[in-house]
Amino acid sequence: MDIKIRSSDPAVIALCPVAEQEGIATVFDRYEMQQPQCGFGTLGLCCRICWKGPCRVDPFGDGPQAGICGAGKDTIVARNLIRMMAAGAAAHSEHGRHIALAMQRVGKGELPDYHIRDEEKLKSIAGRLDIAVADRTITDIAYDVATKTLEDYQNQDSKVPCHWISASLPAKRLSLLGKLGVLPHNIDATVAQIMSRTHIGCDADPENLVLGGMRGALADFNGMALATELSDAMFGTPKPVVTQANIGVIKKQAVNIAVNGHNPLLSEVICDIASEMNSIARDAGASEGINIVGICCTGNEVMMRHGIPLATNYLSQEMAIFTGALDAMVVDVQCIMPSLPQISECYHTEFITTMDENKMPGARHVSFHEDKARETARKIVQYAIDAYGRRDAKRINIPDIKQTAIVGFSSEAVMAALATLNAADPLAPLVENIVNGNILGVALFAGCNSTRAIQDENFQVIAKILARNNVLLLATGCGAGAFAKHGLMNQQATEAWAGDSLKAVLTAIGVSAGLEGPLPLILHMGSCVDNSRAVQLATALADRLNVDLSDLPLVASAPEAMSEKAIAIASWSVAIGLPTHLGIVPQVTGSAVVTDLITEGAKDLFGGYFLVESDPALAAEKLVAVIREKRHALGI
């Protein structure tokens, strides 16, 4: 296999031959082995919802046009689609619940290993949730914030929407979503309703199903908004920090520990403990002590908050092990390939699962609970140090491939940078430059990598074209990882790729904010749950201009989306009014009705819609055209 047709990441191109030599299959090999993939599944036309099935609808119209129960293609496709949205919402919201429960216990004084590190942020959240802060202790406020947040999982009054969505979107948007009946009142109930209405013999109306799915997607937004905000209060709100990304951040002379997954509750403590255990690592022979590196969204979390370097993003997570110098990979939840423990077994690498509901065959399981966080983290770091002693020097192969990245652009950090230009009215410089056209518009890149695209390629091609057209670029998730690895999140990238007027704006802000040069070409806003940060910024802009989110020259793009979570994110992005590009054809095209619903139909209802285009250059052109259209409608 020519790996260059599967990945554009030079580290992957360097390490895949190592895997081949070792006779170990990678995600790219398994993709080949899956070809040709099932056409019914690709179109969304395979139904496995009951045991009379699986049933399939013939897309050419010759064979059966309904499943055994009578469900036709539109019902089958819609049910499959919204179950994915529900799964995505469940994943993000479970992550959020985990953080909220931990914060509630911090509030009760039950978790000595955790603290409220950002008291200002906690108070600002409390204000948004109408919780009093004057003359109260931080722990009391934390308890109330967490308790009110948890009401979003418990409220049974369907007329009262979830607190977090109410506190996060412009009034105009909330009113529209309320009228459409898609504002979630309870995350768990919304997910359960999707599972229930898609059971055999329930909701069969494609439009009704898709609207129910959109409510689930908005519950996903609610779950990620609260996850982000509570994490900031507990672990700190990100500020710009210079770090490095790609596999070359793994160090030969250090005990290398990769944290992989999503939830910062464990990785934060691992970072703390690692710095305390450096001398033990040195005594074991690792002259550079302990080196924590990140993968996927846990990587983004610790990168944004502490400048921990990012080893890689989703599709290349296996590559870290092929360096032969990864002593442990510690995982929590989501987007962790089950192949990893098997590959680790071929090396000296300790593969450690930590969440009782996320175990993997072949892994060592160290059960993580917040009340013993430091003790557990110490045990995990010790396993890594022990593994270091078992390294095989002959198999060490760390390609010297890494790029500088400036990360940490929370919405607070963006506002702080803007405030250096105009303290009284920080949004003014941004608004002025959008209105006068120096910034044509804003694009948010999100989502995963997929074997259905050349890894990281769509991200790079689209971003460079948009930047040339003076579009301000934001990124989260594995998209952010892709940009960081490929050197598009540094000042050199701004010099190389930004259009003249965008470059001037990024330089003015960067210099004024003390960066001694422009802001990076693409602002790293964090992990997937941190997409809520971009919405926060967009909401501030919309409120300032007294328009709705759908009026802004703002687009979203998930050019290599893959996970159910990404489907949920892309769907709420549509529901809040954003034209949302997908570079991978979603598994809905077996139904013209559903395809139309999420494109043209959604446009009529929400103002947002899906724009599917798998050619990245064409996608970029279309996104620029959409931004121009929005400007025209605004009269700017």
- Give the residue from 336, 270, 324 showing the smallest Cα distance to 563: 336
Q: How far is CA 388 from the centre of its chain?
A: 31
DSSP 552: S
**Cβ nearer to ligand CUV, comparing 98 with 262:** 262
Closest CB 297 distance from ligand CUV, rounded Å: 4
Q: Is 50 annotated as a binding residue?
A: yes
Pick from 16, 335, 482, 509 the residue near ligand CUV by CB under 6 A: 335
Q: How many CB atoms lie within 10 A of CB 291?
A: 24
Closest CB 478 distance from ligand CUV, rounded Å: 3
Q: Does 96 bind ligand CUV (CB under 6 A)?
A: no
Q: How many CB atoms lie within 10 A of CB 593?
A: 17
* Residue 361, CA distances (Å) to 110, 229, 319, 337, 338 in order: 33, 34, 20, 11, 8
Classify each residue of 268-289 as buried b or exposed e, where b means 16 or more C-beta atoms within 10 Å of its C-beta: bbbbebbeebbebbbebebeeb
Q: Is 162 annotated as a binding residue?
A: no
Q: Would the CA dihedral through 191, 196, 198, 199 be positive or negative?
A: positive
Angle at 482 between CA 340 and CA 401, to 5 degrees: 75
Q: Is 47 annotated as a binding residue?
A: yes
Pick from 131, 453, 528, 584 the residue near ligand CUV by CB under 6 A: 528
| Contacts to ligand CUV from residues 543-572, by CB under 6 A | 563, 565-566
Q: Does 75 bind ligand CUV (CB under 6 A)?
A: no
| HEC string for 501-531 | HHHHHHHHHHHHCCCCCCCCCEEEEECCCCH
Q: Does 455 bind ligand CUV (CB under 6 A)?
A: no
Q: Does 475 bind ligand CUV (CB under 6 A)?
A: no
Closest CB 527 distance from ligand CUV, rounded Å: 6
Q: Does 448 bind ligand CUV (CB under 6 A)?
A: yes
Q: Is 38 annotated as a binding residue?
A: yes
Q: Does 489 bind ligand CUV (CB under 6 A)?
A: no
**Cβ nearer to ligand CUV, comparing 162 with 295:** 295
Pick from 116, 478, 489, 493 the residue near ligand CUV by CB under 6 A: 478
Give the list of residues 6+ apart from residue 62 with CB closer than 8 angstroms, or none. Answer: none
Q: At what angle do helices 531-545 and 206-235 cross, to 10 degrees?
A: 100
| Contacts to ligand CUV from residues 196-255, by CB under 6 A | none
Q: Is 69 annotated as a binding residue?
A: yes
Q: Is 296 annotated as a binding residue?
A: no
Pick from 294, 324, 477, 579 the residue near ligand CUV by CB under 6 A: 477
**Cβ nearer to ligand CUV, comparing 95 with 306:** 95
Angle at 372 between CA 371 and CA 377, to 5 degrees: 135
Q: Is 346 annotated as a binding residue?
A: no
| Contacts to ligand CUV from residues 341-360, by CB under 6 A | none
The number of residues that bind ligand CUV (CB under 6 A) is 14
How far is residue 260's CA from residue 336's CA, in Å, rounded to a whole number? 7
Q: Does 262 bind ligand CUV (CB under 6 A)?
A: yes
Give the list of residues 6+ apart from residue 215 with CB closer than 8 angstroms, or none. Answer: 181, 182, 183, 184, 190, 193
Residues at the annotated binding site? 38, 46-47, 50, 55, 69, 262, 297, 335, 448, 478, 528
Which residue ranges make up the site for ligand CUV (CB under 6 A)?
A: 262, 296-297, 314, 335, 447-448, 477-478, 527-528, 563, 565-566
